[in-house]
Amino acid sequence: MRDLDRDRGADRRQQLGMPHVERLDIERSGRNGPSGPSSAAARTTLSRTLPPVAKVAQPGPALEWDTPLYQQARTQLEHALELSEVPELVSTRLRHPERALILMLPVELDDGSYRSFPAYRVQHSSLLGPTKGGIRYDEAVDLGECAALAMWMTWKCALLRLPYGGAKGGVRCNPRELSTPEIARITRRLTAELAPFIGPELDIPAPDMATNEQTMAWMMDTYSMQMGHAVPEIVTGKPVSIGGSLFRHEATGAGVVMVVERACARVGWDLAEQACAVQGFGNVGGIAATELHAKGARVVAVSDVSGGVYSPLGLDIPALHAYVSANGSLEGYMTDVERITNEELLELECDILVLAAREDQVTAANAGKLRCRLVAEGANGPTSVAADAILAERGIPVLPDILTNAGGVTVSYFEWVQDLGRLFWDRDEIRRRLADKMSDAFDRVWSVSQERGITLRDAALVAAIREVAAALVSRGIYP
């Protein structure tokens, strides 16, 4: 295990061009022990580096979306607002979503019974253009999760200089317990209920957790039937046969590796010489693992909901994909690998750790146990605020989600543009345009980080907030 003492952390921060962070008042035994830091220590960490959640100003009683995940997004925003030096008008306007919808979807099940499913859609900001964001089907979907993800999407679109604001929605259900016809009926009912609030110039949904091209095809068809003509630009991430874009499926995972490669070049690492662990082997993690493998990196571990596999010599990524295609998951794969848990994967010794599963994976409890040199966030919100502070103190840079996983929304933007113009590009053109966008955004974030002496996450938020602030100051607030 690498020596994680203070001097090594300081040396690594200097090598990577990271800003100095005041040493945190956490006992080393607490940070590296079996249970990680105590909650009191975690709170101390937070108070010394970022404004604590409890101090986020709220007018009157707590609002309906005030969940821990939304408070995490708000805490990041409040800290970035202090660094951004924007007018009060901007901070007041950006703290809360513009619109939040709560729906109940009555749906007939295959056995003839009926069930109502809660559904949500949150639109955070339309200052830069129509809102944009995914639709997820998951048992944990709630208003706070959608509000947090919508806020992050606003920063993501602004950082990539896309003419969008952020949105997010979902249906609270267990898609693994539903048949394909039941999911289709849920999707069509959701689209019909959302129809007054979405549109190519209002709000453009996309796939997310447990939704895919087929889900978007059902949404596009339902909306088009109500409009009386085909409207392919109402959603992105749909099949190519009805106006979808080439390279959309691969875009998020490929974008993650584009940012990782750019970061490696900045600090003098050869990506082909790095050992990488990827948490998540779905649409994002699976593609990221493939891209890393293709570039010569040694992918030593991957995982999905069934657990993970590890080989210090490197995994056969094409063989893993073939196994998952045939069996549905990594469960049971034993060829020249060691079986590990998702939690164990996070603590493996490696150079680059890609977080491509879901939110809240690296927390105050395990951030002190990570043995990587760089974290890349392929998922949304996988690192808690307290964990961010611990990683910064240890000299482990984090490539933040609003930059690193922005490839998906960028190619979604390309799809929307192609649909509006009814003129489509080839795969090489789209990949080139995506690489240009991701490189430009990374370079601007790196510059802000170096100039201001702040972390890459803070720099990304500052750069994004300034983009939105410029639009708000120009437009003002309609009386």
Catalytic residues: 168
Residue 29: phi, psi to the nearest 5?
Answer: -65, -35
Exposed/middle/buried for residue 155 (C-beta within 10 Å: 0-12, 13-18, 19+): buried
How far, in Å, CA of 120 to CA of 188, rounded?
Answer: 15
Cα angle at 350 between 156 and 326, to 5 degrees?
75
Exposed/middle/buried for residue 314 (C-beta within 10 Å: 0-12, 13-18, 19+): middle
**Which residue type, as a one-letter code, is found at position 196?**
P
Residues contacting residue 448 through CB under 8 Å, at least 6 positions apart = 454, 459, 460, 462, 463
Q: What is the pLDDT of residue 11?
A: 52
Structure confidence by residue, pLDDT tens digits, 79-124? 999 998 888 888 889 999 999 999 999 999 999 999 999 999 999 9
Report which DSSP code applies to 380.
S
State which H helix or E strand residue 334 sits in.
none
How far, in Å, CA of 384 to CA of 444, rounded?
Answer: 24
Q: What is the pLDDT of residue 57?
A: 44
Helix (H, G, I), strand (E, B) or coil at 137: strand
Residue 72's nearest CA partner among 56, 49, 88, 58 is 56
Q: What is the pLDDT of residue 16?
A: 53
Helix pair angle (456-475, 143-159), 10° resolution:
80
- pLDDT under 50: residue ranges of the chain: 1-8, 15, 20-60
State which H helix or E strand residue 69 sits in.
helix 68-84
Residues contacting residue 33 through CB under 8 Å, at least 6 positions apart = none
CA 197 to chain CA centroid, nearest Å = 24
Tell me the Ramachandran region of residue 425: left when phi exceeds 0, alpha when psi lies from -120 to 50, beta otherwise.
beta
